[in-house]
C-alpha cells in the first residue's frame, strides 16, 4: 500500500517509523528535509504542507492510496477535503470537523450546545465590549486566540497576564488577528493528554501522557512547542485514577457524536484532548485534531497491534475497541533543542547524533527540525530531535532517555528533570493538595 505522510517533525517521523514496520511504501511531504523521514520514504516532496493543492497534485501523481496528516496547519487549510477530491482518503478530519482544533469558540460552543461535561465558564468576544467586565467577574481568567497559534495562543492571568489591563490588551490583539477571543475561567490542576482515534462512531483511547510546555526545569520560563513528556506502565499517570481516565474518554466520545451532528459527517482521525484534573474533576483545556508532539512519541513505540490496520479501520468506519493494544511499559521523552530555544534560538550549529549508541542504550529517537548538508546535521530555530527511553518503570525509562541524550552533541539544551522521581513526586503532592 502506498501511504503518504504529511508533515516533517518528530511526530511524523514517529508515526512513519511505526507504519514502516508493515507492508507499505512510504511517501512524505514536508517543508524541511527530515533525515529520518527521508530515509524511510521511497520518495519525498519538499513543500510547505499547507500548500494543499500542491500536496494533492503530487500525491495523485504518485498513486497514493492513503494519507496520514501529522500537523494541524494543513487540516485548517482543508487538506483532507482536497485529497478526497482526487480520490485519496486520509487519517485526519475534514476542514469542517478540524474546527475542533482550529476554532477555539467552536469547541466551547459544541460542548455547551450538546451538554458535554468539561467546559469552563466562558464567553466569546468579537469586540472589546464587555471583555474587561467579564475578566473582573471571573477573577482568574484565561484568554485564548480563536485561531491556530502553534501552541502559543493561550495566556493565563497571574502567569502570562499580570492584570486585567494586560488581559484586555491581549484579547484585543486576538480579536484583531483572528476575529475573536475566548475568555474563560482558569482551571487549577495537573494537565494530561489523551490521544484517541475516531472513525466517527467509535473512539478508542491510548495511554495517557503529560507534556512539559515550559522551556526550563521546574516548569519555568516561556512556553514552547513541548520539551518532553512521559507515560506510565499502567497507562495512567501517577497522580490520576481510572475515574479520571474514564471522564476524559466520556468527554471525547460525546464530542465525537456531537461533531457528527454538527458537521454532518464523521470525524475520522485523532481526537487529542488536553485535559486537566482539578479539585472538581476532569475538565477540557482544548481538543487537537492530530497527535500530540511530543506525546505521540510516548504511545506509538508501545503499540503491539497494527497501526496500518487501525488507520484503515478509521477510514473505513470499522474501528473496534481493542484494535489498539499498548504494552505495559513506561516511557520518557526528552527533546533536544538549540540553545536559547523559547527565547532566541541559536540556530545553524552542527549536531552530532550517534544513532548506533542511542540504539544500544535501548532508546528510540525521532528527528524534528534539523538541516542536513553534505551528510552533516545542523540545528534550526526549532526542536532538533526527541529521544525516548522505554522501561518497566518510569525510573528505568528516564535513565535510558538520559543515557541516550549523552550521545547527542552540539550547541544544545534539554530539560533533564522530565520524568525524574523528584519531578513526579512534586506533581503527586500538588494534586493531593488540590484535591484535598
User: Does residue 195 bind ligand GLY (CB under 6 A)?
Assistant: no
Nearer to ligand GLY by Cβ, of 208 and 313: the residue is 208
* Cβ atoms of residues 282 and 238 within 8 Å: no
Pairing of strands 281-288, 408-410: unpaired
Binding region for ligand GLY (CB under 6 A) out of 256-264, 290-298, 349-357, 389-397: 290-298
Name the residue nearer to ligand GLY (CB basis): 1 or 149: 149
Q: Judged by CB under 6 A, which stretch of 121-129, 259-267, 288-296, 401-409 contacts ligand GLY?
A: 288-296
Nearest to 117 by CA among 288, 263, 284: 284
Task: Report the residue number, 175 or 227, with the smaller CB distance to ligand GLY.
Answer: 227
Segment interacting with ligand GLY, rule: CB under 6 A, options 23-31, 35-43, 289-297, 334-342 = 289-297
Task: In angstroms, give the least distance from the CB of 85 to ligand GLY.
Answer: 28
Query: Residue 231 or 288: which CB sits closer to ligand GLY?
Result: 288
C-alpha 67/C-alpha 6 separation (Å) is 7
Calculate the CA 144 to chain-centre distance.
17
> What is the closest distance, in whole angstroms, from the C-beta atom of residue 418 to ligand GLY in the complex?
13
- Smallest separation (angstroms) from ligand GLY to the CB of 361: 24
Supply the minimum distance, in Å, between the C-beta of residue 292 and ligand GLY. 4
Q: Does 292 bind ligand GLY (CB under 6 A)?
A: yes
Smallest distance, ligand GLY to C-beta of residue 359, A? 25
Site string for ligand GLY, 141-170 (x = CB under 6 A): ----------x-------------------
In the complex, minimum distance from the CB of residue 143 to ligand GLY, in angstroms, rounded to a whole number? 18
Please report, as residue ranges, which positions from 344 to 363 form the binding site for ligand GLY (by CB under 6 A): none
Provide, rounded to whole angstroms, the least separation between the CB of residue 295 and ligand GLY: 5
- Work out whether 288 is an interface residue with ligand GLY (CB under 6 A): yes
Q: What angle do CA 82, 21, 296 make, to 5 degrees?
A: 65
In this structure, the number of other CB atoms found within 10 A of the CB of residue 360 comes to 12
What is the footprint of ligand GLY within residues 92-131 (CB under 6 A)?
Answer: none
Q: Say if CB 226 and CB 294 are below 8 A apart.
A: yes
The residue within the footprint of ligand GLY, chosen from 295, 398, 402, 417 (CB under 6 A), is 295
Residue of minimal Cβ distance to ligand GLY: 292
Question: Closer to ligand GLY at the Cβ: 146 or 295?
Answer: 295
Number of residues that bind ligand GLY (CB under 6 A): 7
> Residue 151 or residue 281: which is nearer to ligand GLY going by CB?
151
Q: Which residue, 82 or 295, is less far from ligand GLY as judged by CB?
A: 295
Cβ 71 to ligand GLY shortest distance, Å:
9
Binding mask 196-235 for ligand GLY (x = CB under 6 A): ---------------x--------------x---------
Rule CB under 6 A: choose which of 76, 82, 293, 398 binds ligand GLY: 293
Minimum CB separation of residue 193 from ligand GLY in Å reads 6
Q: Which of 124, 126, 82, 73 is nearest to 102 (CA)?
A: 73
Please state the closest distance from residue 270 (CB atom) to ligand GLY, in A. Answer: 10
| Min separation Cβ 288 and ligand GLY, Å | 5
Q: Are 405 and 387 in contact (CB under 8 A)?
A: yes
Residues of this chain that interact with ligand GLY (CB under 6 A) are: 151, 211, 226, 288, 292-293, 295
Amino acid at each position: 500500500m502506498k501511504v503518504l505522510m504529511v508533515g516533517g517533525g518528530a511526530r511524523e517521523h514517529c508515526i512513519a517509523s511505526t507504519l514502516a514496520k508493515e507492508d507499505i511504501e512510504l511517501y512524505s511531504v514536508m517543508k524541511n528535509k527530515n533525515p529520518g523521514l527521508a530515509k524511510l520514504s521511497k520518495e519525498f516532496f519538499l513543500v510547505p504542507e499547507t500548500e494543499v493543492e500542491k500536496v494533492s497534485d503530487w500525491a495523485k501523481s504518485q498513486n497514493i492510496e492513503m494519507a496520514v496528516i501529522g500537523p494541524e496547519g494543513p487540516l485548517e487549510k482543508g487538506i483532507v477535503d482536497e485529497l478526497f477530491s482526487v480520490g485519496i482518503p486520509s487519517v485526519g478530519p475534514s476542514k469542517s470537523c478540524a474546527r475542533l482544533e482550529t476554532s477555539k469558540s467552536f469547541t466551547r460552543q459544541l460542548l455547551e450546545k450538546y451538554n458535554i461535561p468539561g467546559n469552563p465558564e466562558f464567553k466569546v468576544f468579537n469586540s472589546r465590549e464587555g471583555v474587561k467586565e467579564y475578566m473582573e467577574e471571573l477573577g482568574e481568567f484565561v484568554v485564548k486566540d480563536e485561531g491556530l497559534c502553534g501552541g502559543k495562543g493561550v495566556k493565563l492571568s497571574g502567569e502570562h497576564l499580570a492584570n486585567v489591563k494586560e488581559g484586555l490588551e491581549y484579547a484585543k490583539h486576538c480579536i484583531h488577528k483572528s476575529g475573536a477571543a475566548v475568555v474563560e475561567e482558569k482551571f487549577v490542576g495537573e494537565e494530561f493528554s489523551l490521544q484517541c482515534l475516531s472513525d466517527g462512531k467509535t473512539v478508542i483511547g491510548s495511554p495517557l501522557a503529560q507534556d512539559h510546555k515550559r522551556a526550563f526545569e521546574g516548569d519555568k520560563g516561556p512556553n514552547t512547542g513541548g520539551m518532553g513528556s512521559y507515560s506510565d506502565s499502567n497507562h495512567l499517570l501517577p497522580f490520576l485514577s481510572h475515574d479520571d481516565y474514564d471522564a476524559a474518554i466520556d468527554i471525547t466520545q460525546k464530542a465525537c457524536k456531537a461533531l457528527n451532528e454538527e458537521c454532518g459527517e464523521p470525524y475520522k482521525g485523532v481526537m487529542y484532548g488536553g485535559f486537566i484534573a482539578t479539585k472538581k474533576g476532569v475538565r477540557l483545556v482544548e481538543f487537537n485534531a492530530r497527535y500530540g508532539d511530543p506525546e505521540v512519541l510516548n504511545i506509538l513505540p508501545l503499540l503491539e497491534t497494527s497501526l496500518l490496520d487501525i488507520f484503515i479501520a478509521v477510514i473505513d468506519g470499522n474501528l473496534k475497541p481493542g484494535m489498539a493494544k499498548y504494552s505495559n511499559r513506561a516511557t520518557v521523552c526528552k527533546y533536544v533543542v538549540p540553545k536559547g530555544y523559547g527565547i532566541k534560538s541559536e540556530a545553524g550549529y552542527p549536531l552530532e547524533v550517534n544513532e548506533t549508541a542511542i540504539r544500544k542504550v535501548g532508546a528510540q529517537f525521532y528527528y524534528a527540525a534539523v538541516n542536513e548538508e553534505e551528510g552533516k546535521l545542523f540545528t534550526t530555530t526549532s526542536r532538533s530531535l526527541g529521544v525516548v527511553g522505554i522501561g518497566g518503570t518510569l525510573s528505568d525509562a528516564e535513565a535510558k532517555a538520559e543515557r541516550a541524550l549523552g550521545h547527542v552533541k552540539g550547541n544544545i539544551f534539554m530539560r533533564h528533570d522530565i520524568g525524574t522521581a523528584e519531578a513526579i513526586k512534586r506533581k503527586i503532592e500538588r494534586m493531593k493538595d488540590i484535591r484535598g
